[in-house]
Amino acid sequence: MINFSSLKKSFGFAFEGLRFAWKKDQNLRVHTIVAIVVIVASIILKVSTVEKSILGVMIILVISAEMVNSAIEQMVDLITKEHRMEAKLAKDVASGMVFVTAVGSVIVGMLIFFPYLVKLFK
């Protein structure tokens, strides 16, 4: 049997996390703006459904990576405020994860949009 009270609380916590990330993480807001531009461009250029799905997955990956990065930064700051090499490395690796995901998404986006842009400007 589904415990709707517990489910409601879980969704509340999730939305609280989204609100926190949106308020505190400038990079998340930038990624969201880029995502909106990509979605609008995919509609204008009439990108195929499969390609839109791929773009959607890439957008979700980047935004999720940014949120994991924020969570790691918060945890590291909770554990220590000292400038320790281990804390720096944890934050840097998490930041690197976002970078790799974002660069991969740009490459996928270029591969998807390039033929449509060539066709548009031909």
Q: With pLDDT > 90 as the criterion, what percentage of the chain qualifies?
A: 90
In this model, does residue 122 exceed pLDDT 90? no
- Is 66 annotated as catalytic? yes
Least confident of 5-9, 50-54, 92-96: 5-9
Q: Total structural domains in the chain?
A: 1
In tens, the pLDDT along 24-70 reads 999 999 999 999 999 999 999 999 999 999 999 999 999 999 999 99
State the DSSP code for 82: S
The owner of tokens 């939305």 is: 15
Tell me which of 110 and 83 has the higher pLDDT: 110
Measured in degrees and rounded to the nearest 5, phi and psi for residue 7 equal -65, -45
pLDDT above 90: residue 81: no
Mean pLDDT across the chain: 95
Burial of 98 (0-12, 13-18, 19+ CB in 10 A): buried
CATH number of the domain that residue 67 is part of: 1.10.287.3610
Cα–Cα distance between 43 and 61 in angstroms, integer?
Answer: 20
Residues 66, 73, 82, 86: which is the catalytic one? 66
Helix segments in the chain, DSSP class H: 4-24, 26-44, 49-79, 85-120
Give the range of the structural domain holding residue 12, as residue numbers without chain letter. Answer: 4-120
